[in-house]
Structure 1
Amino acid sequence: MCGRFTLTDSPRAIGERFLVDALEPFPPRYNIAPTQPILVLRADEHRRAGDGGVRRIAHLARWGLIPGWTKDPSTIPLLFNARSESAGERNSFKAALRHRRCLVPASGFYEWRREGGRRGTPFFVRPRAPGPIAFAGLCETYLAADGSEIDTAAILTTHSNAALADLHERMPVVIGPDDAERWLDCRDSEPRDVVDLLRPAENAFFEAIPVSERVNAVANMGPEVQEPVEPSSKPPGEPPPAAQGSLF
Structure 2
Amino acid sequence: MCGRYTITMPPDAMRELFGFEERPNFPPRFNIAPTQPVPIVILDGGKRRFLLVRWGLVPSWAKEAPASLLINARAETVAEKPSFRGSFRHRRALMPADGFYEWKAEGSKKHGGAKQPYVIRRRDRQPFAMAALWDNWMPADGSEIDSCAAVTCEANETLVAIHHRMPVILDEKDWDTWLDPATPPKELQTLMRPAPADLLDAQPVSTRINRVANDDATLLDPAAIEPEPEKPARPKKEPDTRQMGLF
The aligned runs of 1:79-158 (5 Å cut-off) are 79-116=70-107, 118-158=113-153
Unmatched segments (≥5 aa) in structure 1: 47-54, 234-248
Give me the whole-angstrom Cα distance separating, in 1, the residues matched to 2:167 and 2:77: 14
2:66 maps to 1:67:
no
Give me the whole-angstrom Cα distance separating, in 2, the residues matched to 1:23 and 1:128: 28
Cα distance, 1:103 vs. partner? 0.4
How many residue pairs end up in the alignment? Answer: 223
My pick for the range that moved more, 56-65 or 6-15, is 6-15
- Give the residue type in structure 1 aligned to 2:223: V
- Give the residue type in structure 2 aligned to 1:94: R
Give me the whole-angstrom Cα distance separating, in 2, the residues matched to 1:159 and 1:61: 26
Cα distance, 1:190 vs. partner? 3.0
Give me the whole-angstrom Cα distance separating, in 1, the residues matched to 2:3 and 2:114: 13
The equivalent residue for 1:195 is: 189
| Identical pairs, percent | 43
Give me the whole-angstrom Cα distance separating, in 2, the residues matched to 1:174 and 1:21: 23
2:207 maps to 1:213:
yes
Cα distance, 1:31 vs. partner? 0.1
The aligned runs of 1:154-169 (5 Å cut-off) are 154-169=149-164
The equivalent residue for 2:15 is: 15
CA 58–218 in structure 1, closer or farther in 2 if over 3 Å, else same: same
Contact 2:11 2:27 in 1 (8 A): no
Deviations 1:80-125 (A, max 9, x none): 0010110111000000000000000001000011234644111010
My pick for the range that moved more, 134-143 or 22-31, is 22-31
Contact 2:73 2:84 in 1 (8 A): yes
The equivalent residue for 1:2 is: 2
CA 87–232 in structure 1, closer or farther in 2 if over 3 Å, else same: farther
Give me the whole-angstrom Cα distance separating, in 2, the residues matched to 1:164 and 1:91: 29
Cα distance, 1:180 vs. partner? 0.3
Larger Rg: 2
- Give the residue type in structure 1 aligned to 2:22: A
Give me the whole-angstrom Cα distance separating, in 2, the residues matched to 1:111 and 1:20: 30
The equivalent residue for 2:234 is: none
RMSD: 1.4
Which of 155, 171, 182 is the equivalent residue of 2:177? Answer: 182
Normalising by the residue count of structure 1, what TM-score does the alignment of the two structures yield? 0.86
Give me the whole-angstrom Cα distance separating, in 2, the residues matched to 1:213 and 1:173: 25
- Give the residue type in structure 2 aligned to 1:168: H
The equivalent residue for 2:231 is: none
- Give the residue type in structure 1 aligned to 2:53: A
Contact 1:18 1:177 in 2 (8 A): no
Which of 181, 185, 198 is the equivalent residue of 1:204? Answer: 198
